[in-house]
Structure 1
Amino acid sequence: MSRGFRCAALLSLALLTACGQEEQAVPDPVRPVLFTTAEKKWPEEAQFTGTVEPRYTTDLGFQVLGRMISRSVNVGDEVEEGQQIALLDPASLEFAVRVAEASLSAAKAQLANAEGSEKRLQALAKNGVSSKASLDTAEQSRKTAEANVDSAEADLHKAREQLGFTRLTATFDGIVTATDASVGQVVSAGQTVVSIARLDARDAVVDVPEALVTQLRGKSFEAFLQTVKGPGVKAEIREVAPQATSATRTQRVRMTLENPPENFRLGALVTLRSNDASDEVITLPMTSLLEEDGKTYVWRIDEASMTVEKVAVTVGRKSAGEFVAVNGVMPGQKIVTAGVHSLESGQKVYLGGEPEL
Structure 2
Amino acid sequence: MTRTAPMTVAAMQGTHDRLTGSRAGIGVALALLLAAGPGLADVPALTVATEPAQSQQAYQSRRVFVGRIEALRQSDLGFELGGRLERVIVDDGDRVDAGAVLAVLDTARLEARRAELTAALQQVRADLGLARATLARTEEAAGFNGVSGQELDEARERFNALQAAERLAKSRVATVQVDIDKSTLRAPYAAVVIRRFADEGQVLGAGQPVLGLQEDGPLEIRVGVTGRGLDGLRRGQRREIEVDDRLLMTEVRAILPVRGAGTRTVDVVLGLDEDDSGLRPGDLVNLALPVEVKQPGFWLPISALTEGVRGLWAVYIAQPLDPGSQAESESAGTHRLARRTVDVLHEESDRVFVQGLLRDGDQVVVDGTQRIVPGMVVRLGVRRTAANNDQG
TM normalised by structure 2 equals 0.58
Does the C-alpha gap of structure 1 residues 286 and 71 become closer, same or farther in structure 2, counting only changes over 3 Å?
A: farther
Structure 1, unpaired ranges of 5+: 1-42, 299-313, 327-334, 347-357
Tell me by how many angstroms 1:162 deviates. 0.9
> Which one is further off, 165-174 or 217-226?
217-226
Structure 1 residue aligned with 2:306, among 290, 301, 307? 290
Match of 1:255 in 2: 269
2:246 pairs with 1:232: no
In structure 1, what is the Cα distance between the partners aligned to 2:248 and 2:135? 83
Separation in structure 2 between the aligned mates of residue 266 and residue 231 of structure 1, nearest angstrom:
15
* 2:227 equivalent in structure 1: 213
Q: Please tell me whether the aligned partners of residues 250 and 270 of structure 2 are also in contact (alpha carbons under 8 angstroms).
A: no
The alpha carbon displacement at 1:219 in A equals 1.6
Secondary structure of 1:181 counterpart: coil
Match of 1:273 among 262, 280, 288: 288
Q: Any idea what SS the aligned residue of 2:128 has?
A: helix
Identify the residue that residue 175 of structure 2 maps to in structure 1.
158
5+ long unaligned stretches in structure 2: 1-59, 294-298, 318-341, 355-365, 373-377, 382-392
Match of 2:85 in 1: 68
Distance 1:268 1:295, change over 3 A: closer
Q: Which residue of 1 aligns with 2:75?
A: 58
* C-alpha distance in structure 2 between counterparts of 1:108 and 1:97, whole Å: 16
Q: Is residue 2:125 matched to residue 1:108?
A: yes
Deviations along 1:14-57, whole A, 9 cap, x unmatched?
xxxxxxxxxxxxxxxxxxxxxxxxxxxxx985222322013433
Check 1:90–1:288 CA distance in 2 against 1; reply closer, same or farther (3 A cut): farther
- Distance (Å, rounded) in 2 between the aligned partners of 1:232 and 1:189: 44
In structure 2, the CA distance between the partners of 1:321 and 1:223, relative to structure 1 (3 Å rule), is closer
Instruction: Supply the RMSD in Å over aligned alpha carbons.
Output: 4.2
Aligned to 2:141: 124
How far apart, in 1, do the equivalents of 2:208 and 2:89 lie? 17
Say if 1:244 and 1:160 are closer, same or farther in 2 by CA, change over 3 A. closer
The residue identity in structure 2 corresponding to 1:148 is A
Letter in 1 for 2:370: H
1:209-257 C-alpha deviation (Å, 9 max, x unpaired): xxx4343234256353533635322335533762453xxx663634232
Equivalent position to 1:95, from 108, 112, 120: 112
Match of residue 189, structure 1, among 202, 206, 210? 206
Question: Which of these residues, 339, 361, 371, is aligned with residue 342 of structure 1?
Answer: 371
Provide the rounded CA distance (Å) in 2 between the counterparts of 1:217 and 1:198. 32
The alignment partner of 2:79 has SS state of coil
Does residue 317 in structure 1 map to residue 326 in structure 2? no
- Alignment check: 8 A CA contact 1:222 1:234 kept: yes
Query: Which residue among 166, 169, 176 is the counterpart of 1:149?
Result: 166
CA contact (8 A) 2:69 2:219 kept: yes
Report the TM-score when normalising by structure 1: 0.62
Aligned mates of 1:284, 1:69 — CA distance in 2 = 73
Q: Secondary structure at the match of 1:113?
A: helix
Is the alpha carbon distance of 1:216 and 1:237 closer, same or farther for their aligned partners in structure 2, counting shifts above 3 Å?
Answer: farther
Paired amino acid for 1:172: Y
Q: Output one character per residue of 1:125-168: Cα deviation in whole Å (capped at 9) or x when no partner.
A: 22332222111111111111111111111111111111100101
Query: Would you say the 8 A contact 1:203–1:254 is kept in 2?
Result: no
> What is the match of residue 81 of structure 1?
98
**Mapped partners of 1:71, 1:297: distance in 2:** 76
Seen in structure 2, the aligned counterparts of structure 1 residues 214 and 194 have a Cα distance that, compared at 3 Å, is: farther
Distance 2:200 2:304 in 1: 65
Contact 1:238–1:256 (CA under 8 A) maintained in structure 2: no
